[in-house]
Chains A and B, each alone.
Chain A
Amino acid sequence: MMNALREDLTQMNMVVRQLAVDTDLYTLPSTTIRTPDLEPQPVKIKARNVNVFYGEKQAIHDVSIDIPEKAVTAFIGPSGCGKSTFLRCFNRMNDTIEGSRVDGLIELDGRSIIDRSLDVVELRARVGMVFQKPNPFPKSIYENIAYGPRIHGLVRSKADLDEIVERSLRKAGLFDEVKDRLHDTATGLSGGQQQRLCIARAIAVSPEVILMDEPCSALDPIATARVEELIDELRENYTIIIVTHSMQQAARVSQRTAMFHLGNLVEEGPTEKIFTSPEVKRTQDYITGRFG
């Protein structure tokens, strides 16, 4: 009975979605993802048969995955398996790499983002990114946060900007630490503070998705714990994808986990399931540290 209802709902969803596409309303989710302990999540990003090439070399093979909205998805896998490469597809940062090529289907809220004609400026405002090494600009803390809102013309007045800066820093849990030195240079902050500043910088343009590529790999355990806490809080409002080499981190912060190997998606599902009863042996071997 329930199942039949679900079927119907899905059907309806698809019809509505088609309608939405036709009428240029892209806000409706294409489908939902069920994860234990969570409400079924609408799909934020949908990837189908994605291939990425660097010149002749293929780095991602035919990967399909759904990323749920307002949840944390972790990408794990041994070094060089293509996690960063795949992550960069979602905000088209691969465009900045000479000789790279992406094909397949990737949709954000049901709208293709692979399309050449898509405006990457707008896309990157919606899909922010935090890098492996903290990379604050050599400007003041304030200017770092104000950078994004300024280039996107999100503010009219200085007061607006002040407010955005404060709000972003608060969300990143950094405000109290830096409120007295907003105009000091950001490179003077500690590594952990710098990384939270980079998160605040990404938040300042009000993205919907935040991509994080090993955001804690340059941080000590305490700074890492703070960032993890922050990620957990941000989940309420943002869709987060995090690449990590730490199994504990993936287990702690994510709701869903995707395991990559040699450019292929090995397995993907609720984090708990991946960590307790993976279906593929290779996943288990990797998680328990037997390879990778």
Chain B
Amino acid sequence: MNSMLVTLVLLLLLGFAYQTGWSRSSRLAQVEGRLHSKPIYHGALVAIWAIVPALLILGLWALFGTATANTRFRTLTSAVVLASAFGTGAIGLYLARNRISARFRARNEVERIIRYLLIGCSVVAILTTLGIVLSLLGEALRFFTFVSPVDFFFGTVWNPRFSSVGTGSGDFGLLPLLWGTVMIATIAILVALPIGLMTAVYLTQYAKPKTRNIIKPMIEVLAGIPTIVYGFFALVTVGPALAGLGAMFGLDIRATSALTAGIVMGVMIIPFISSLSDDVIRQVPRALRDGSLGLGATESETIRRVILPAALPGIVGAVLLAVSRAIGETMIVVLAAGNSPYLRLNPGEPVSTVTVTIVNQLTGDTDFSSPQSLVAFALGLTLFAMTLVLNIAALFIVRRYREQYE
């Protein structure tokens, strides 16, 4: 059945139901005087009663119907389903229409339904998160039947040996990947924190409103650049430049290295740090600033000794959020980190990260029952746990900080 047609019929049903409720209650209003609820509420309620059951049936059919449908009876089943959907809709319409009376509290009912709708929407996000965790967890557990958690979490060698797919042999040590992730995130923060924070200080304390209105959006553009573009930039421009720079000082820096990826990622998270810090610095009451200036402190003394310490918890929160962003970042590291999963101290050498490895393990034709691809889920779970902890910590700190000045 043509889905366009179904949609059209549904819309017609919706319009007809609304019109029915509206006109019936309007007529009633002429006879009985003032109704409890305005006609639009009666109309809306009838429309809801007509459309929701129909949608439910169609939705269930879309989710589970195709799996069970026998091809031979396909047209027949879909005809039955459609008929029952629209039939229920018509019944709902009829029932709702008959409930209309002067005292009927349609408004309250519509409000209640709207509330359920809103709750439903927020539940979707929560359920999605839950679903992701569960699916990750399931696959990760399957992985741990091949490799023991101890070998995974504390192993220092990463060598999944694609050639031996299916045999279950290979080394799946997390530490080299984790090390790469941590090293790149650290470099990124070292780049982004001072620049972002000073930008925020400048914007909040020194910049005239006009300047601010120009600079702030320009910085936020950085946040809108697709990460793959940052990846190109790292690969084509920053990497070779760093290598050249290193050569000038007799340092061996590879074009794709932890340093390259870290620096570019740092640039990427500058807007995070600057706009989040901007918010928290702005929350420091003006009275504190005036108090310090009134004692004869200079602008920069005031910032260093009063404003930044007062904003510190919020800034820490901002940094944690930025770190979790850096840890989960993929495209830049895929292109610019060099994909070399060894434990190395030198940031000038290529590394690999958890995210890059997930990409590696899941691309190409792998079957989803070998540890070589299942390990991706264990890695994903690890990553998820790390960012979750960071995010919760950040939210907690930021909230505590908010309360301090309520």
Interface of A toward B, CB cutoff 8 Å: 91, 93, 96, 98, 120-125, 128-129, 131, 133, 135-139, 147-148, 151-152, 198, 201-202, 205
Can you list 18 A-B pairs, Cβ within 8 angstroms, ordered by A?
A91-B294, A96-B290, A96-B293, A98-B209, A121-B297, A121-B298, A124-B293, A124-B296, A131-B287, A135-B287, A137-B292, A137-B310, A138-B310, A139-B309, A151-B305, A201-B291, A201-B295, A205-B296
- Residue contact B295 to A151, C-beta cutoff 8 Å: yes
Q: How far apart are the CA atoms of A84 and B363 in the complex, in Å?
A: 69
Chain A: minimal CB distance from B397 (Å)? 15
A131-B287, A131-B290, A137-B291 given; A122·B296 CB < 8 A: yes
Q: How far apart are the CA atoms of A172 and B287 in the complex, in Å?
A: 21
Q: Which of B208, B287, B296, B298 has the most CB of A within 10 A?
A: B296
- Residue contact A151 to B301, C-beta cutoff 8 Å: yes
Indicate whether B404 reaches chain A with its CB closer than 8 angstroms: yes
Q: Which residue of A lies closest to B310 (CB)?
A: A138
4 residue pairs, one from A and one from B, having the closest CB atoms: A124-B296, A135-B287, A129-B294, A125-B296
Indicate whether B10 reaches chain A with its CB closer than 8 angstroms: no
Q: Which residue of B lies closest to A119 (CB)?
A: B296
- Residue contact B296 to A93, C-beta cutoff 8 Å: no
Q: How many B residues have CB within 8 A of the partner chain?
A: 21
- Residue contact B294 to A131, C-beta cutoff 8 Å: yes
Q: A122-B296, A133-B287, A137-B310 are in contact. List 4 more A-B contacts (CB 8 A).
A: A131-B291, A131-B294, A137-B292, A147-B295
Residues of B within 8 A of A133 (CB): 287
Residues of B within 8 A of A93 (CB): 290, 293-294
Chain A: minimal CB distance from B316 (Å)? 15
Q: Which residue of B lies closest to A187 (CB)?
A: B404
Indicate whether B81 reaches chain A with its CB closer than 8 angstroms: no
0/1 interface trace, chain B 289-317, chain A, CB 8 Å (1 if under): 11111111110010001100110000000
Q: How far apart are the CA atoms of A205 and B298 in the complex, in Å?
A: 15
A137-B306, A138-B404 given; A121·B296 CB < 8 A: yes
A98-B209, A137-B306, A137-B310 given; A151·B297 CB < 8 A: yes
Indicate whether B117 reaches chain A with its CB closer than 8 angstroms: no
Q: Which residue of A lies closest to B289 (CB)?
A: A96
Residues of B within 8 A of A125 (CB): 295-296
0/1 interface trace, chain B 261-299, chain A, CB 8 Å (1 if under): 000000000000000000000000101111111111110
**Which listed residue, A124, A128, A147, A198, touches B305 by the CB 8 Å rule?**
A147
Residues of B within 8 A of A147 (CB): 292, 295, 297, 305
Q: How far apart are the CA atoms of A81 and B404 in the complex, in Å?
A: 33
Interface of B toward A, CB cutoff 8 Å: 208-209, 285, 287-298, 301, 305-306, 309-310, 404
Residues of B within 8 A of A98 (CB): 208-209
A135-B287, A138-B309, A138-B404 given; A148·B208 CB < 8 A: no
Q: How far apart are the CA atoms of A7 and B289 in the complex, in Å?
A: 47
Chain A: minimal CB distance from B403 (Å)? 12
- Residue contact A205 to B288, C-beta cutoff 8 Å: no
Q: How far apart are the CA atoms of A121 and B300 in the complex, in Å?
A: 12
Q: Which residue of A lies closest to B299 (CB)?
A: A96
Q: Which residue of B lies closest to A144 (CB)?
A: B291
Chain A: minimal CB distance from B164 (Å)? 60
Residues of A within 8 A of B287 (CB): 131, 133, 135
Residues of A within 8 A of B294 (CB): 91, 93, 124, 128-129, 131, 202
Chain B: minimal CB distance from A58 (Å)? 22
- Residue contact A135 to B288, C-beta cutoff 8 Å: yes
- Residue contact B297 to A135, C-beta cutoff 8 Å: no
Q: How far apart are the CA atoms of A198 and B288 in the complex, in Å?
A: 11
Residues of A within 8 A of B306 (CB): 137
- Residue contact B309 to A148, C-beta cutoff 8 Å: no
Residues of A within 8 A of B295 (CB): 124-125, 128-129, 147-148, 151, 201-202, 205
Q: Which of A93, A96, A125, A152 has the most CB of B within 10 A?
A: A96
Q: Which residue of B lies closest to A125 (CB)?
A: B296
Q: Which residue of B lies closest to A121 (CB)?
A: B296
Q: How far apart are the CA atoms of A152 and B305 in the complex, in Å?
A: 13
Residues of A within 8 A of B404 (CB): 138
Chain B: minimal CB distance from A225 (Å)? 24
Q: How far apart are the CA atoms of A148 and B296 in the complex, in Å?
A: 7
Residues of A within 8 A of B297 (CB): 121, 147-148, 151
